[in-house]
Chain A
Amino acid sequence: MAVNNSFLKSVAYFPGLSTEELDSVKKLIFEKKVERGDIIVFEGDPPEALYFVSSGVVKMFRTSAEGKEQVLNIVRPGESFNDVPAFDGGLNLASAQAMGPVTLYGIPKHSLDLFLQEHPQVAVSVANVLAAQVRHLVSLVEDLSFRPVVGRVAKVLLEYAGDGTSPGQQLTQQDMAAMAGTAREVVSRSLKVLQSEGVIEIDRHRIVITDKEALRGIAGASN
């Protein structure tokens, strides 16, 4: 299998491991290739493995009771996912879907305990990785539950809309996130909410405000 040491060293879990230690890590790793749209991990299932992305990108998301998707994280090469359930043995916290062709390396859950016993220094890296994930998730939780983000996104749309005579400003979802003081993932969800409420339409690269008064109401509610 083509797991090479330079890739493993780029993984946040394994910096500073010697060549012999990396060789013993490699013995535990399996490779998996998936295609665009494939679900790698299902929310609520028992965990099978801890995964690292070797190439491609994986999207982590949760689905609400009404079937709405909230993206939690985008996982790029060298990063891990499904860490928490793989370590604590609880059910998978989120689903993972391949955004294109993806090559993954996995460590089966049943090998992880032994692995950490044999390489206790990795536990420090694990703590760092998990701490960074908690920080990211806590800021998402704040945005999703405590702050009226949809209202702030509505306000940004109103502020930057063209009046029909002059063209509107061009804004990416990243720009809107910065202006609304939130994360891109939350803007994406907010736009979907506004669309499903019928106040905007998204026509490829145009956001058309179809009900300005209603949008004003939503924006005002955020004050």
Chain B
Amino acid sequence: MVVMPVVDREKCNGCGLCISVCYCEALILVDNVITVLETEECGWCTECEAVCPTGAIACPFEIVIEHS
């Protein structure tokens, strides 16, 4: 399973701006709501989150401390 950006379906207005900036074709509109397809190609650039006008798509980071 590939970790992918998370969508809040209630907030998505179907504007498609996230699709226009995504280089990996992970995002598609289904019934005017964003659906995220799992793909290794997504490099977590977070641009989908940056351009979303409603905060409907999020690229959360897990923060961990490296133990040496």
Residues 195-223 of A at the B interface (beta carbon under 8 Å): 201-202, 204-210, 212
* Residues in A whose Cβ lies below 8 Å from that of B66: 201, 208-210
**Which A residue sits closest to B53, measured CB to CB?**
A76
* Residues in B whose Cβ lies below 8 Å from that of A63: none
**Given A168-B63, A208-B64, are A174 and B49 also a contact pair (CB < 8 Å)?**
yes
The reply on B29 being an interface residue by CB < 8 A is no
Query: Which of the residues B17, B46, B55 comes within 8 Å of A56, measured between beta carbons?
Result: B17
**Which A residue sits closest to B67, measured CB to CB?**
A164
Kindly state the separation between the CA atoms of A85 and B67 in the bound complex, as whole angstroms.
51
A170-B62 in contact (CB<8A): yes
B65-A172 in contact (CB<8A): no
A164-B43 in contact (CB<8A): no
Query: Which of the residues A102, A171, A184 comes within 8 Å of B60, measured between beta carbons?
Result: A171
Count B-side interface residues using an 8 Å CB cutoff. Answer: 27
Query: Which of the residues A36, A76, A161, A175 comes within 8 Å of B51, measured between beta carbons?
Result: A76
**Given A36-B23, A99-B51, A101-B20, are A172 and B58 also a contact pair (CB < 8 Å)?**
yes
B65-A209 in contact (CB<8A): yes
The reply on A6 being an interface residue by CB < 8 A is no
Q: Measured between C-beta atoms, what is the minimum distance from A110 to chain B in Å?
A: 31
Q: Measured between C-beta atoms, what is the minimum distance from A85 to chain B in Å?
A: 24
The reply on B3 being an interface residue by CB < 8 A is yes
**Which B residue sits closest to A156, measured CB to CB?**
B63
Q: Measured between C-beta atoms, what is the minimum distance from B35 to chain A in Å?
A: 18
A100-B64 in contact (CB<8A): no
* Residues in A whose Cβ lies below 8 Å from that of B15: 77
**Which B residue sits closest to A212, measured CB to CB?**
B65
Chain B residues close to A by CB (< 8 Å): 3, 15, 17, 19-23, 43-44, 46-47, 49-51, 53, 55, 58-67
A selection of 29 A-B contacts at a CB cut-off of 8 Å is A36-B21, A56-B20, A57-B20, A57-B51, A77-B17, A99-B21, A99-B47, A99-B51, A100-B22, A163-B65, A164-B64, A168-B62, A169-B63, A170-B62, A172-B58, A172-B59, A172-B60, A173-B46, A174-B55, A174-B58, A188-B46, A204-B3, A205-B60, A205-B62, A207-B61, A208-B64, A208-B66, A209-B63, A212-B65
* 7 tightest Cβ-Cβ pairs between the two chains A and B: A170-B60, A100-B20, A168-B63, A100-B21, A99-B21, A57-B51, A204-B44
